Structure 1
């Protein structure tokens, strides 16, 4: 699980995408105890599909439907494993090189890569991306239009010039990101059609901790994560006094999201003018929840009565519950890229 959590870095978008996406993340690390030196994670629409790490030394499917890939290519997993092992050695050397460029010696260091593509199945618009990071900061990025590399830090300029000179390789990367990657994305979507292309509507609740706290509109259980969740006043979307949370994973593969509304300056008689609206891509009907004190779930009254009388057993049970709630996340790898 730790290997999957480390993959959540700056490359991961915080906003819900409106596109289908195929992304691969590779992380090489040094000086991290009890953690694989190299991890590869592959995602289709934010769902883990493949995983490789330096401990297992093997590329593995993380979804049942990924086993279908061997029907098209019986050596798929063997090739994935070979490419990942090769990258493992390459990235280990790159960390050593970059430590010298940054005048570093010991400590924890990471070298990360993210690449992939996006496809809008309604408009047909596609996009590709290929980026590197070092110690959590952007290091290099590929410009699809110019087929050259962007170096945001002086230490990356040497590598930029070296890679810019390899025009043939850059042309291969452009072809992969704009064509071959899209083909594989469509293929994976077809493999996992029953789960990846399903639609699930959420339950929507209004929550409030105390009478002076913001009211939270919480939607949980939706799929896919191509959604909009927002507050309105008199039918118009509110852009002020709202705080949007990130889309989070549920343990069953669905998602959840919340958005807070600050009502400190709103008169009680005006509450009826406010509503929370949930929209899911591909579903015409919105889920609209009016701001009504009667439907708000809160424990503030009980909290005042029970303050100080929680038993040690109750606290212990809550603690155990939280500790046994595992985080969800993705995994890993890929083969079909230019060599």
Structure 2
């Protein structure tokens, strides 16, 4: 889905002066997948999963140790949130049936997605939020928080827009939740899990190349949080061309990785010394790795020193949790 996926991509640029923390919820409803639950819900803080629910078990599962703070402070939390997920499961399942009719679909596999949440900048205290839906990999409808109306990019979403635009009270409640309640819960979770969520793990940086004619990849891994900036420089100036940035991906241990390719086709080898890869992460000094053949790891087995200057093995382990009351859907489409 274009919008949902786009929100998860890394934004490259100069300077890491603040961290934008996020709380996001992802719902996935499906039809025609016999080996996958018809409904799955996941909650995440700063890219770290803290809860899980699916239609097979119909149970809320807390994924992080520090969630005990939430359940201790709110003994009815588990029962209440399980009920909320069950209600949303029923609404999304009904929506899939409606959308299959609107799109003239009688069979096959179909996916209905919802993402909502909030963001908070820990430096200037600004906030942002979103509520959006997708169907079969395409944007379907999204809430405009400024006008409190729904944006329908496809004609099949127009009936939904017309009905949901009339739910003024619900839309006001959604805005209040996204811009205030969600942010309050986000800050609580950051406090509960501060030893892990607010830590800084230094990236390990390597230069990689598959063959002499392939791009050189600047690969940063093992960092936390995921708000890292990676770019190539030539003579001290950031390159806007010849580079291909990738997206931030999770590692199995809760840290993250990202790669940025440098196309060498227009770079004579005698000019390699003018190039360097720079990695920026708040709380640490910039990591600069020169484009030096001795530092490049290749499929031929030659291994240089990692760009962090040490090349040492480092491992990171993450233990988290969190939660918050989840407002339900306005109903099916």
Evaluate the alpha carbon distance shift between residue 286 and residue 10 of structure 1 in structure 2; reply closer, same or farther with a 3 A threshold: closer
Alpha-carbon contact 2:31-2:111 (below 8 Å) kept: yes
The 5 A counterparts of 1:316-327 are: none
For the aligned residues, what is the CA RMSD? 2.2
Corresponding position of 2:15: none
Asked if 1:15 corresponds to 2:10, the answer is yes
- Equivalenced residue count is 305
Corresponding position of 1:87: 88
Residue 293 of structure 2 aligns to a residue whose secondary structure is coil
Corresponding position of 1:291: 291
The 5 A counterparts of 1:177-192 are: 177-192=178-193
Q: CA deviation at 1:269?
A: 1.9
The 5 A counterparts of 1:129-148 are: 129-148=130-149
Q: CA deviation at 1:82?
A: 0.4
Alpha-carbon contact 2:70-2:322 (below 8 Å) kept: no
Q: CA deviation at 1:300?
A: 3.0
* CA distance in structure 2 between the aligned counterparts of 1:333 and 1:12, rounded to whole angstroms: 21
Corresponding position of 2:243: 242
Q: CA deviation at 1:338?
A: 5.9
Q: CA deviation at 1:265?
A: 2.1
Evaluate the alpha carbon distance shift between residue 198 and residue 333 of structure 1 in structure 2; reply closer, same or farther with a 3 A threshold: closer
Evaluate the alpha carbon distance shift between residue 258 and residue 49 of structure 1 in structure 2; reply closer, same or farther with a 3 A threshold: same
Evaluate the alpha carbon distance shift between residue 252 and residue 301 of structure 1 in structure 2; reply closer, same or farther with a 3 A threshold: closer
Which range moved further: 291-300 or 101-110?
291-300
Residue 294 of structure 1 aligns to a residue whose secondary structure is helix
Residue 257 of structure 2 aligns to a residue whose secondary structure is strand
* CA distance in structure 2 between the aligned counterparts of 1:301 and 1:38, rounded to whole angstroms: 45
* Structure 1 spans left out of the alignment, 5+ residues: 1-5, 303-330
Alpha-carbon contact 1:40-1:333 (below 8 Å) kept: no
* CA distance in structure 1 between the aligned counterparts of 2:32 and 2:42, rounded to whole angstroms: 20
Q: CA deviation at 1:282?
A: 3.2
* CA distance in structure 2 between the aligned counterparts of 1:204 and 1:246, rounded to whole angstroms: 16
* CA distance in structure 1 between the aligned counterparts of 2:38 and 2:214, rounded to whole angstroms: 45
Q: Deviations over 1:290-326 (max 9, x none)?
A: 1111221223378xxxxxxxxxxxxxxxxxxxxxxxx
Residue 300 of structure 1 aligns to a residue whose secondary structure is coil
Asked if 1:198 corresponds to 2:199, the answer is yes
Corresponding position of 2:37: 36
Corresponding position of 1:336: 326
The 5 A counterparts of 1:134-283 are: 134-283=135-284
Q: TM-score, normalised by structure 1?
A: 0.85
Q: CA deviation at 1:332?
A: 10
Alpha-carbon contact 1:52-1:332 (below 8 Å) kept: no
